[in-house]
Amino acid sequence: MSGAPQIAILITGDPVPEVQVARGDFGEIFAALLREDWTGEVNVYDIRDGCFPPVDSSLHGVIITGSAANVPDQEPWMVVAQEWLQVLVAKDVPTFGICFGHQLLAQALGGEVQLNPRGREMSTIEVERSSDGALFDGIEERFEANACHVDTVVALPTGAESLARSDADDHQCIRFSPTCYGVQFHPEFDGEIMRGYVAQRAELLLDEGFDPERLGERASDTPMSGRILQNFVTHLVALRGREV
């Protein structure tokens, strides 16, 4: 039996401690962002513990969060999640992966994720889109986004298309299917969250030759990238709602 329309947030990790204290966990962060564009339920499922939503008519959309974990490690929970995502995408449920979630989708659907040979991407970056379409409604050709990752999609699944790039990553946005997308950047990060990540990773960044102070100064709000998440909800999730 299906219930009220829902967007499922699939938890794959936790915010860094400073961000979690200030803004809550990923479930709370996404619920706050979705409140303006979605009137249905927002439910949280921690897939690290094998918790997944039922794939029925109540499931109008799925968002997969970022994580400090690494897809190439292929931990047991990741393998289980990849198998579940294959079924989900085949059923055309609108799905949106972010950073780790983007990479998990790529691996699940036949692509490959590895350590980015161009190095870490951190703080506010410039992204250039190469496509139009519903996801980029109202988005400029070049826009700013917040990034925090060391891995990257090195090979696309069959039939997938890269829609945006940055200097350090050729696959900032991937269309895996007409209803399934992933972004390497974080549309849910504003400047405060991004600065929290830079501060938490400061020692590591220094070891890698970065200047944490400069990265913190560069971190800013990125409303254009945030709009991409809104477009997913209003143009893909809402469309499924009208069809059901």
**Whole-prediction pTM:** 0.96
The fold adopted by the segment(s) 6-190+222-243 is Rossmann fold (3.40.50)
Is 99 marked active-site?
yes
How high is the pLDDT of residue 3? Answer: 79
Contact 156, 142 (CB under 8 A): no
**Selected catalytic residue, list 60, 99, 171, 180:** 99
Q: Which of 163, 197, 167 is nearest to 182 (CA)?
A: 163
Strands 59-64 and 6-11: parallel
Contact 176, 105 (CB under 8 A): yes
**DSSP 8-class letter at 232:** I
Domain positions in the chain are: 6-190+222-243
SS3 168: coil
**Selected catalytic residue, list 60, 102, 171, 186:** 186
Show Cβ contacts of residue 161 under 8 Å, excluding neighbours closer than 6 positions: 131, 174, 175
How high is the pLDDT of residue 52? Answer: 98
Supply 135's token pair.
């996801």
How high is the pLDDT of residue 243? Answer: 40
How high is the pLDDT of residue 240? Answer: 73
**Selected catalytic residue, list 102, 121, 171, 188:** 188
Task: Give the count of beta carbons closer than 10 Å to the beta carbon of residue 12.
Answer: 25
Residue listed under structure tokens 């960044």: 205
How high is the pLDDT of residue 242? Answer: 47
Is 75 marked active-site?
no
Is 186 marked active-site?
yes
Q: Which residues of the chain have pLDDT under 50?
A: 1, 241-244
How high is the pLDDT of residue 2? Answer: 58
Instruction: Give per-residue pLDDT as tens, 171-210.
Output: 999 999 999 999 999 999 999 999 999 999 999 999 999 9
Rounded CA-CA distance 7/228 in Å is 16
